[in-house]
């Protein structure tokens, strides 16, 4: 099996859990280095270097830093609009950091909305509370084995009802969530194309096409379209609701486990959980 998407062993799940915590810790450490005047590209390079020291050699997507209005995916914001730019950080800016490294084939994808003192804390607090409700609703629908398309639309409606914009519809694949995979070792598993790992990227491209042509059960992307018009599929899902109001965007991204018997989040002690419970 070149790309594993389900039936993970307890040992593999523990490896995913440990790595997810490690990547979140790295994003927090980089967030602590933020200073006015630094650029998105510089911060993205800091994430890249830190993960490289930990053994990451390939990525599902390159590290991302979004400052100010860019954290809110303004306007049409194309599929590649999140790539880091020379946008300079200002005191009042919201910040989102995102990284998706692979460690020996284990894909991890984490997003950290930085609770900065200078940003609009009122909007950030509202967004944070909304994200906690999105997380709970997603788990509830996964436990019910709900239709994935209907569940995504229900999350969308919750976001709009709270007075926020849904930004994950502007993500590549319009994803509320996407599959997390483990790639096989060997020559192809260690290759890089523009820094990306060809195995998971190829899997997503091929199965995304099949899902869009009537094979929704193969979808690697959980969204509001017919590509996800099927019952909840087993495997690991990187859940990433992204909301915004004005120039303040916020999100999280963490692994949801779906088996034949149950659904649960892989970890309940990540930075955003601690913020919500504090």
Bridge partner list, 183: 3
pLDDT band at 195 (very low <50, low <70, confident <90, very high): low
The answer to pTM > 0.85 is yes
Q: Is 7 exposed, middle or buried (0-12, 13-18, 19+ CB in 10 A)?
A: exposed
Instruction: State residue 194's pLDDT score.
Output: 53
Instruction: State residue 186's pLDDT score.
Output: 58
Cβ within 8 Å of residue 205, ≥6 positions away? none
Are 176 and 253 in contact by the 8 Å Cβ rule? The answer is no
Least-confidence region, from 70-84, 123-137, 250-264: 70-84
Instruction: State residue 211's pLDDT score.
Output: 85
* Interval 106-142: pLDDT, tens: 999 999 999 886 666 889 999 999 999 999 999 999 9
Helix, coil or strand: residue 272: helix
Helix, coil or strand: residue 113: strand
Instruction: State residue 137's pLDDT score.
Output: 98
In this structure, what CATH number is given to the domain that contains residue 224? 3.90.230.10
Instruction: State residue 260's pLDDT score.
Output: 87
Q: Which domain, by its residues, includes 271?
A: 3-277
Give the span between the Cα atoms of 252 and 130, in whole angstroms: 11
pLDDT at 275 over 90: yes
Instruction: State residue 249's pLDDT score.
Output: 96
Average pLDDT, the chain: 92
pLDDT at 258 over 90: yes
pLDDT band at 26 (very low <50, low <70, confident <90, very high): very high
Least-confidence region, from 1-15, 73-87, 189-203, 246-260: 189-203
Report the domain count for the chain.
Answer: 1
Alpha helices in the chain (DSSP H): 10-31, 40-53, 121-143, 148-161, 198-212, 271-277
Cβ within 8 Å of residue 28, ≥6 positions away? 112, 271
Instruction: State residue 188's pLDDT score.
Output: 56
pLDDT at 91 over 70: yes
pLDDT band at 173 (very low <50, low <70, confident <90, very high): confident
Q: Which two tokens stand for residue 245?
A: 């109001």
Q: Is 52 exposed, middle or buried (0-12, 13-18, 19+ CB in 10 A)?
A: exposed
Instruction: State residue 56's pLDDT score.
Output: 92
Q: Which two tokens stand for residue 74?
A: 């303004």
Helix, coil or strand: residue 108: coil
pLDDT at 203 over 90: no
Least-confidence region, from 52-66, 103-117, 187-201: 187-201
Mean pLDDT of 91-98: 95
State the virtual CA torsion across 234, 134, 98, 10 in degrees, nearest 10. -30
């Amino acid at each position: 099996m070149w790309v594993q998407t389900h039936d993970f062993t307890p040992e593999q799940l523990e490896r995913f859990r440990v790595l997810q915590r490690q990547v979140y810790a790295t994003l927090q450490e980089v967030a602590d280095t933020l200073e006015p005047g630094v650029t998105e590209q510089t911060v993205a390079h800091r994430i890249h270097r830190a993960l490289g020291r930990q053994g990451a050699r390939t990525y599902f997507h390159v590290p991302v830093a979004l400052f100010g209005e860019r954290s809110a995916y303004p306007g049409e914001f194309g599929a590649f609009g999140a790539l880091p730019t020379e946008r300079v950080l200002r005191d009042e800016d919201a910040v989102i950091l995102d990284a998706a490294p692979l460690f020996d084939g284990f894909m991890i994808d984490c997003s950290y909305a930085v609770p900065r003192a200078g940003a609009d804390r009122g909007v950030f607090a509202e967004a944070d509370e909304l994200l906690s409700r999105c997380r709970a609703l997603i788990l509830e629908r996964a436990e019910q084995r709900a239709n994935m398309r209907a569940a995504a639309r229900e999350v969308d409606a919750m976001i709009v009802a709270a007075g926020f914009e849904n930004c994950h519809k502007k993500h590549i694949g319009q994803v509320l969530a996407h599959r997390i995979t483990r790639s096989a070792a060997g020559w192809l598993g260690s290759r890089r194309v523009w820094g990306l790992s060809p195995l998971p990227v190829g899997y997503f491209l091929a199965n995304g096409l099949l899902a869009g042509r009537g094979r929704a059960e193969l979808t690697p992307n959980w969204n509001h379209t017919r590509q996800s018009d099927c019952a909840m599929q087993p495997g690991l899902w990187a859940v990433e609701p992204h909301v915004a109001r004005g120039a303040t965007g916020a999100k999280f991204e963490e692994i949801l486990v779906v088996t034949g018997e149950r659904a649960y989040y892989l970890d309940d002690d990540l930075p955003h959980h601690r913020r919500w419970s504090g």
